[in-house]
Amino acid sequence: MAKTVWGLIALAVMTGTAGAQAPAPEQPPTAEQPSPSDQEALLDQLIQKAQEEAPSIETVARGSWRRFRRSISVGPTAGLWSGAIIDPHNVDVALTFGVGFEKFKVPVLPSMDTLQDLIVERIKAQAKDRLKSLLMGRPIEPVELERMVKQVYEDVRKEVLGLENIRGKTMERPAYNVAVEANRLFIAERWLGRVRAGIGIWKFTVGASFAFGRVCRSETCDDGIKIFLGPEVVLHLMTSKDPRASVFDVFFRGDFQANSRGMETYDHATLGVRYLLDII
């Protein structure tokens, strides 16, 4: 009986020792991560493929016409102003009509080459960031990587090209304007011709006005042709958020007589509004 017990103990020890010495099952080899240069080459290939499969940038960028069209308003103008003639202490009212051109600071897309370089640069930066966050010590399947790069390409292209509908503003920032017009003074029953131009400063256009004509009201005053120079400040209000938009201008102007300054001069300050009908 004792021999049997000792035999069983010896068999158990030998079995445990053999199990302890058994080789561990082989682990599948871990995939080696590509080197930085290989990643760069692969990324270039995937971006190139995404570009070939997506609509061309030049085709998509035709939407930039909406931005360009939004940035200009050109057409006939009509308005009304009331002016206080400072020296004779009179007031007059005038109807104006003419032709004007106004340019606004609405972003317009750069050239196709510049766009292409910008998009590729942004794609690489975003793709690398996403790759780092996705890797986390594990390899990415080629199909998953290709899908990710294609999505990044679409996202960045939409952002750079502004493919979504343009969001127009009622008060676009002005760049510059130029116009010619005629002013009919109702009370004096006289005409003024005018040329005006200005540049945008924040939400306003600050410019200069040159006018010439007669403003005298009676036979006893100096009814010769006068020249008037002065500053003008304009606030622009767009009537639509569409690419083509007409404009209401609210303006304040000072007209100072530049010649024949005698006993009576006809300096005047005016406040008015005009409408530019965008016809293109």
- pLDDT for 12 equals 46
Cα 280 to Cα 53, 66, 67, 69, 172: the distances in Å are: 36, 13, 14, 9, 19
Residue 279 · residue 74 · CB < 8 Å: yes
Domain residue ranges of the chain, discontinuous segments joined by + = 36-64+108-161, 73-106+169-276
Taking only Cα atoms into account, the Rg of the chain, rounded to an integer number of angstroms, comes to 38
Task: Give pLDDT tens digits for 64-110.
Answer: 777 788 899 999 999 999 988 877 778 899 999 999 999 999 877 66
Report the CATH fold assignment for 73-106+169-276. Answer: Porin (2.40.160)
The whole-angstrom separation of Cα 155 and Cα 54 is 12
| Global confidence as pTM | 0.65
Residue 77 · residue 95 · CB < 8 Å: no
- pLDDT for 248 equals 97
> Does 2 score more than 50 pLDDT?
no
List CB contacts of 228: < 8 A, sequence separation 6 or more: 192, 209, 210, 211, 212, 255, 256, 257, 258, 266
The first and second tokens of residue 241, run together, are: 């958020």
Cα 95 to Cα 43, 114, 195: the distances in Å are: 65, 48, 15
> Does 22 score more than 70 pLDDT?
no
Task: Give pLDDT tens digits for 119-160.
Answer: 777 777 777 776 666 655 566 677 777 787 777 777 777 766
Task: Give pLDDT tens digits for 32-56.
Answer: 555 556 666 767 777 777 766 665 6
Dihedral over Cα of 30, 35, 36, 41: its sign: negative
